[in-house]
Amino acid sequence: MKLDMVIERLEQRLDELMRKSGCSSPAYRHLRGEIEQDRRCYLCGSQKHLKTQCSHYRRRKQRKKYRFQRSQ
Protein backbone atom coordinates (compact mmCIF):
# COMPACT_ATOMS: atom_id res chain seq x y z
CA MET A 1 0.00 0.00 0.00
CA LYS A 2 2.80 2.40 0.88
CA LEU A 3 4.60 1.47 -2.33
CA ASP A 4 1.52 2.44 -4.34
CA MET A 5 1.57 5.88 -2.75
CA VAL A 6 5.26 6.33 -3.53
CA ILE A 7 4.73 5.31 -7.15
CA GLU A 8 1.80 7.69 -7.49
CA ARG A 9 3.86 10.59 -6.09
CA LEU A 10 6.74 9.79 -8.42
CA GLU A 11 4.40 9.72 -11.42
CA GLN A 12 2.93 13.08 -10.40
CA ARG A 13 6.40 14.57 -10.00
CA LEU A 14 7.47 13.22 -13.38
CA ASP A 15 4.40 14.77 -15.00
CA GLU A 16 5.23 18.13 -13.37
CA LEU A 17 8.82 18.00 -14.59
CA MET A 18 7.78 17.00 -18.09
CA ARG A 19 5.32 19.91 -18.31
CA LYS A 20 7.99 22.37 -17.09
CA SER A 21 10.46 21.16 -19.70
CA GLY A 22 7.89 21.53 -22.47
CA CYS A 23 7.29 17.82 -22.91
CA SER A 24 4.04 16.12 -22.20
CA SER A 25 4.04 12.82 -20.39
CA PRO A 26 2.21 10.85 -23.13
CA ALA A 27 4.72 12.07 -25.72
CA TYR A 28 7.57 10.94 -23.52
CA ARG A 29 6.02 7.51 -23.11
CA HIS A 30 5.62 7.25 -26.88
CA LEU A 31 9.34 7.89 -27.40
CA ARG A 32 10.22 5.37 -24.73
CA GLY A 33 8.20 2.73 -26.56
CA GLU A 34 10.06 3.45 -29.80
CA ILE A 35 13.42 3.18 -28.05
CA GLU A 36 12.49 -0.14 -26.47
CA GLN A 37 11.37 -1.50 -29.87
CA ASP A 38 14.77 -0.74 -31.39
CA ARG A 39 16.81 -2.38 -28.63
CA ARG A 40 18.92 -5.32 -29.74
CA CYS A 41 21.46 -7.69 -28.27
CA TYR A 42 24.97 -6.32 -28.87
CA LEU A 43 26.39 -9.77 -29.52
CA CYS A 44 23.93 -11.50 -31.85
CA GLY A 45 21.57 -8.68 -32.93
CA SER A 46 18.39 -10.36 -31.67
CA GLN A 47 15.47 -8.18 -30.53
CA LYS A 48 14.26 -10.96 -28.22
CA HIS A 49 16.87 -10.35 -25.52
CA LEU A 50 19.75 -8.12 -24.42
CA LYS A 51 23.41 -9.03 -23.97
CA THR A 52 23.11 -10.31 -20.40
CA GLN A 53 20.49 -12.89 -21.43
CA CYS A 54 22.31 -13.91 -24.63
CA SER A 55 23.56 -17.49 -24.86
CA HIS A 56 26.63 -16.21 -26.75
CA TYR A 57 27.48 -13.94 -23.80
CA ARG A 58 27.12 -16.76 -21.30
CA ARG A 59 29.43 -18.98 -23.34
CA ARG A 60 32.06 -16.25 -23.59
CA LYS A 61 31.82 -15.61 -19.87
CA GLN A 62 32.27 -19.32 -19.10
CA ARG A 63 35.31 -19.54 -21.41
CA LYS A 64 36.96 -16.56 -19.71
CA LYS A 65 36.30 -18.06 -16.29
CA TYR A 66 37.74 -21.42 -17.39
CA ARG A 67 40.86 -19.79 -18.88
CA PHE A 68 41.42 -17.76 -15.73
CA GLN A 69 41.17 -20.86 -13.53
CA ARG A 70 43.60 -22.80 -15.74
CA SER A 71 46.18 -20.01 -15.69
CA GLN A 72 46.46 -20.05 -11.90
| 3-state secondary structure at position 9 | helix
pTM across the whole model: 0.34
Q: Which residue has the higher pLDDT, 4 or 60?
A: 4
Q: How confident is the model at residue 19 (pLDDT cuts 50, 70, 90)?
A: confident
Task: Spell out the residues 6+ positions from residue 25 whose beta carbon is closer than 8 angstroms to its own.
Answer: 14, 15, 18, 19
The pLDDT assigned to 29 comes to: 55
* CA 26/CA 40 separation, integer angstroms: 24
Q: 39-72 pLDDT, tens per residue?
A: 788 888 888 887 778 887 777 777 766 566 666 6
Q: Name, of 5-9, 33-37, 61-65, the range with top average pLDDT.
A: 5-9
Domain ranges of the chain: 2-71
